[in-house]
Amino acid sequence: MESDIAYHTALDWLAWQVELGADEAIAETPVDRFVAAAEPVAAPASMAAAAPGAPPVAGPAGEVDPVVEARKAALRAGDLGQLATEMEGFAHCDLRHGARNFVFCDGDPAARVMIVGEAPGREEDMQGKPFVGRAGQLLDRMFDSIGLARTAAEARKALYITNILPWRPPQNRDPSPVEIAMMLPFVQRHIKLAAPDLLILMGNVSCDGLLGRRGITRLRGNWQEVMQRPAMPMFHPAFLLRQPVRKREAWADLLAVQARLRT
């Protein structure tokens, strides 16, 4: 009985710490973080080659390189259904173990506009759909203002939505460069198969993956090219919820998208 109480008390303490943001158990012996920080983190051999348009590079003999595996899996997909199956079965991204659901897409794959966001959050993880939480509701209102909606009956007024990562990172932490590089071949295949007229790169993670650079404050509002398509970097709606004064710029970007769709 006593050990039962101790167990539940310990569990409550753990839940409380997770709630506060703790994401790592402390080991029996102290870790010298200065030494750890000085050691280079091993990245997949082909990470550099994962930049958009770069040629594939195989990892050292015998070693499984997740980026190379992701490229092979993505290429096997001949349509969006097959792509979802290949991604969901991709065993090399550990985020899959902590997520409730695989989040692939929402909206109309025939839409002229494809939005690429970051990664599912709590709500998205629960519902298995991208952008359904508060940020998603703002995203819907933003695009509604230029006559586009994920639920539109006609493809010309529709949106198609996906993310760089299909699994929620723990505690909504930022996706790591290794995770982005690993899932990028799938995103690129997704764009190829959906073949939208233009892309919206929602926030820094999307720009990092598809343009190979960050700095959304400078990038936003300036048309880029991704896989021979115009791509508009925009402030992420989660950022706009925190910084409503930046909505003016987002509005200007939406008008630029609307104008481009009319040409």
Smallest gap from residue 17 Cβ to ligand URA (A): 25
135 binds ligand URA (CB under 6 A): yes
CB closer to ligand URA out of 46 and 162? 162
Q: Does position 185 bind ligand URA by CB under 6 A?
A: no
Phi/psi at 258 (5° precision)? -60, -45
Options 65, 86, 108, 124; binder of ligand URA; rule CB under 6 A: 124
Q: Which is nearer to ligand URA, 45 or 149 (CB)?
A: 149
Contact segment (CB under 6 A) with ligand URA among 10-18, 54-62, 130-138, 216-224 equals 130-138
* Of the residues 44, 66, 107, 120, which one makes contact with ligand URA according to CB under 6 A: 120
Q: Is 131 in the site for ligand URA (CB under 6 A)?
A: yes
The reply on whether position 121 binds ligand URA by CB under 6 A is yes
253 binds ligand URA (CB under 6 A): no
d(CA 230, CA 256): 12
Give whichever of 196 and 203 is closer to ligand URA, judged by the CB atom: 203
CB 161 within 8 A of CB 115: yes
By CB under 6 A, is residue 163 in contact with ligand URA?
Answer: yes
CA-wise closest residue to 121 among 108, 140, 109, 134? 134
DSSP string, 173-228: PPPPHHHHHHHHHHHHHHHHHH--SEEEEESHHHHHHHHS---HHHHTTS-EEETT
Burial 97-123 (b: 16+ CB within 10 A, else e): eebebbbbbbbbbebbbbbbbbbbbeb
The footprint of ligand URA (CB under 6 A) covers: 117-121, 124, 130-131, 133, 135-136, 163, 202, 238
